[in-house]
Amino acid sequence: MEAAHSTFKYRSDLLRPQPVVAVYRCCPLRRQLLYVRTLLVLSISPAPVLFQASTIDGRRKGACLFCQEYFMDLYLLAELKTISLKVTTVDMLKPPPDFRSNFDATSPPILVDNGLAVLENEKIERHIMKNVPGGHNLFVQDKEVATKIENVYSKFKLMLMKGDDHSKQVLLSVLRKIDEHLGQKKTRFLTGDTLCCFDCELMPKLQHIRVAGKFFQEFEIPAEFENLWRYMHHMYLLDAFTQSCPADQDIINHYKLQQGTKMKKREELETPSFTTSIPASVQVE
């Protein structure tokens, strides 16, 4: 899958070719599946990029938030045509021999760059920022934005577990602050009209809130949060998001497995669907 053009503004630099390899895995589930990401910069024949596979069919993209976040980061860099990006899924029940021999004893996520293994999410992000060509453009500093989005997922997980009015109101309060921030900024993305790491972190979580929140707790983002919906609309237009986004069924199954339940057979056979609509009342430019 070669990275294609999408509508976003990006600051370009003079970039040098550089090979990067990364390995990602979600938290252990009943079927432990993972992604390996290989980026070969300016490669004529792109090396494979492997990400967490679906827990339903073991082939399509899975619903690991970290995998999608890093996928988006690096997909944006691929759109600068400094790296070639190809995605392949790997089922850990049947991992290839070279993966087993090199990474079986290590708990991903892992990033391997020129033989150097980088562990832990923060170190991976720091390495992309400092060592991957163009990566520093993605990792901007904005304490206000970081504070507003840092509790989104924890409040969502609490609401998913409790499902009471109080937990829903707490999550709505966090989303409202993001909506108000976007209204004050009057920009397409969190820090401006340039996509950054905060967007790659937030949008996958918003998608999980939309899909899993509705399925498990009948929770919906209010249509009155128009700034947030416009933001999601702009994100839905980006190849970086649509190419990395898991199917609704995979997001739902991700949380079913965490709850110790299984999908019904008919659900496993459903054609994958992707929720990308916004309320009709929301006006977009």
Question: What is the pLDDT of the chain when averaged over all its residues?
Answer: 77
Instruction: State the pLDDT confidence band at 94, using cuts at 50, 70 and 90.
Output: low
Distance CA 26, CA 64 (A): 5
* Rg of the chain (C-alpha set): 19
pTM: 0.80
Assess whether pLDDT exceeds 80 at residue 252. Answer: yes
pLDDT for 128 equals: 78
Instruction: State the pLDDT confidence band at 41, using cuts at 50, 70 and 90.
Output: very low
* Cβ contact 249:57 at 8 Å: no
pLDDT for 56 equals: 65
* Cβ contact 71:37 at 8 Å: yes
pLDDT for 279 equals: 95
Assess whether pLDDT exceeds 80 at residue 163. Answer: yes
135 secondary structure, DSSP code: G
Distance CA 168, CA 146 (A): 22
pLDDT tens readout for residues 181-240: 999 999 999 999 999 999 999 999 999 999 999 999 999 999 999 999 999 999 999 999
| The token pair that represents 198 in the structure block | 């905060």
* Beta-bridge mates of residue 34: 25, 90
Residue 37 vs residue 218, higher pLDDT: 218
